[in-house]
Structure 1
């Protein structure tokens, strides 16, 4: 498992997607995260097209099962259809990791019942069509409930474990107890830790509180004192966490992909992290 996974939720939504897909497949980082529903399936389609066109030996693609886009149905039959759609678009026969994605239209009980989404995922694993099954969802307590079923091998948490947020602590603890594979997505908190002025007042795509904003400003000032780029600190916060096996970084452009090299290669002194700890626990984030 590589430390960096490239997120492709934006792939297929913008012009020039095929060029970005080629760069994703042929670049330094060799793991991609996609999903059945990203850009209506276009993310998977573009990845599948370029894997066949560009030398991409060793590229690993993870994907996710999604509910029916029209009806919201998310039962076992839908998981099987979602899987077939995904492997057809990608041009592969198996997947190393396959997640249950944002199961918001069903309860955990419904997902676990005979004919439900989770038994279908287990069947795919037993048939050798997927190597591991995971839960990937935005809700913190919902993810914890799925982890406690002990059905899953992996978990993907999103906007909940960052330089300014520790709300995924219970997820990491539960996953580590079960020796699960952990993907930590969105280390920049939806943009606020990337240094983008456009996202300065939002975290995880939601408005921040004054208290949360003050804490972010303290972290920003700490970075300035140490001459550490804020996005580099945000990325390395996740990379240095031993319970996280891979950090998922969303890539929206070729330029952002190229900029990732410098962030990954940045060297941050141990004393910086000591001062970060001295700031104390972050206040509740908008995604709690």
Structure 2
């Protein structure tokens, strides 16, 4: 699961926004597809469920705004919010259509009951996503979090990779990707040479650079790169502990050393006249290793706020001053 960084209770505003014109379109590796610097992440969209099991009130309104906002792509998954994320996006498409040039990226997930993740499950997951989204094909389709299956099984006849390749060969998807967190899990899939796109999360941020080698490997193969969770779950966007709970980074409690480092980085950003969140986002969007940065949101105003962060001018000397703070003590060990 990719962490949503800027999520709150969805708005109930039903106004349909005009379609914005993205001002920075860039190639997604060598796929022939285009992406914006930011891709809208929707892992929390649709939660909590309504009484009838449908997505939370306001979810479709947000999905409509996301599909018509300043970003070309919206990222979701078969498993996000037990399918309600895809359902909300599909409802938005059914009500207002999919604007030209926009796309929905989704992911194959293991069987929620049995944890089976083979060829047949990939194909079923794809069919479930098409039904929820109300579309006939997907531009980018990821193999998502293949933790319940070994790489050997996934790459064997009848395995998950075979299912991914079948979808591409049938022309049902333009590009296939691998999306997960642990680098040791991702690397073997990247090295197969069969995937077109990579999605990593929480491992290429202001406080964790551990995915650098993985991204370089992907780039050497012409793969497109999505980098998700640039705020590490909110810590780098100014979200600290609530109700006495410790602040977290990438689903884990932040160590005192990490929190102290972030405080120093925040003070540095203030001296340079910028929000730390703007620097955290720019770290990813300015990198030559990244095509698009996935930021989790579920309120229309977050689209505007993230765009404001993206267009914030970061002084060049901020980066050298940041490096002078030393190596960040990340909580991630893989």
| TM-score (normalised: structure 2) | 0.83
Higher helix share: 1
Report deviation, 1:86.
0.8
Match of 2:139 in 1: 96
Is residue 2:263 matched to residue 1:248?
no
Deviation of the 1:247 alpha carbon: 0.3
TM superposition shift of 1:78: 0.3
Q: Of 108, 117, 128, which residue of structure 2 is paired with 1:74?
A: 117
Runs of 4+ in 1 over 4 A off after TM superposition: none
Q: Secondary structure at the match of 1:163?
A: coil
1 CA distance for matches of 2:117 and 2:198?
Answer: 19
Greater shift, 21-30 or 110-119, is seen at: 21-30
- Coordinate RMSD, CA, aligned: 1.5
1:133 shift after superposition: 0.9
**d(CA) in 2 for partners of 1:234 and 1:182?**
17
Q: How does 1:139-150 map to 2 (within 5 A)?
A: 139-150=182-193
Query: Which residue of 1 is the match for residue 149 of structure 2?
Result: 106
Q: Equivalents in 2 of 1:107, 1:49: separation in Å?
A: 35
Q: How many residues align?
A: 288
Select which of 70, 77, 80 maps to 1:38. 80
What SS is found at the alignment partner of 1:120?
A: helix
CA contact (8 A) 1:35 1:44 kept: yes
Structure 2, gaps ≥5 residues long: 1-34, 49-55
| Larger RCO (alpha carbons 8 Å, 6+ apart) | 2
Task: Spell out, residue by residue over 1:18-71, the C-alpha distance to the aligned partner (whole angstroms, 9 max, x if none).
Answer: 221121122222210010111111111111111122252322111100000111
Give the TM-score normalised by the residue count of structure 1.
Answer: 0.95
Which ranges in structure 1 are unaligned for 5 or more consecutive residues?
Answer: none
Q: Distance in 2 between matches of 1:25 and 1:124?
A: 24
Say if 2:274 is the partner of 1:228. yes
Alignment of 1:85-234 (within 5 A): 85-198=128-241, 201-234=247-280
Distance 1:12 1:251, change over 3 A: same
Residue in structure 2 matching 1:65, options 104, 108, 115? 108
